[in-house]
A = this chain, B = another copy of it.
Amino acid sequence: MNSMLHNNDPYDNNFDLIAKSLKYAEKFRDKTFVIKFSGKVLSNVEMLESVLQDIILLKEKAGINAVVLHGASEQISKVMDELGLNSTFVDGLRVTDKNTLKIVIGVLHDINSKIVWRINQLGGRAIGFSGVSGNVFMAKKRNEELGFVGTISEVNTGIISLIIERGYIPVIFSIGSDGNGGSLNINADEGAGMLASALHADKLIIISDVLGLMKNLNDDGSLIREITFDGCAHLLEGETISGGMLPKIKGCMSAIEGGVGSAHIIGLKNHALLEEIFTDQGSGTMIIR
The residues of A with any CB-CB pair to B shorter than 8 Å are 1-2, 4-5, 9, 11-12, 14-15, 17-19, 21-23, 25-26, 46, 50, 57, 60-62, 79, 82-83, 85, 99, 101-107, 109-110, 113-114, 116-118, 127-130, 132-134, 158-159, 162-163, 166, 177, 179-183, 268-271, 274-275, 278-279
Contacts and interface: CB of A to CB of B under 8 A. Distances in A.
A46 B9 CA distance: 16
16 contacts: A1-B268, A5-B270, A9-B270, A14-B17, A14-B275, A22-B57, A22-B62, A23-B61, A83-B85, A101-B106, A102-B102, A102-B103, A109-B132, A113-B183, A114-B181, A127-B159
A268 B129 CA distance: 31
**Interface of A: prevailing SS:** helix
A83 B61 contact: no
A182 B110 contact: yes
What number of copies of this chain does the assembly contain?
Answer: 6
Given A11-B275, A22-B61, A270-B11, A102 B113 contact: no
Contacts of A22: 21, 25, 57, 61-62, 278
Contacts of A83: 83, 85, 99
Given A1-B268, A79-B102, A21 B18 contact: yes
A14 B10 CA distance: 12
Contact of A113 (B9, B18, B118, B182): B182
Contacts of A166: 158, 162
B177 A117 contact: yes
A233 B280 CA distance: 46
A208 to B, nearest CB: 13
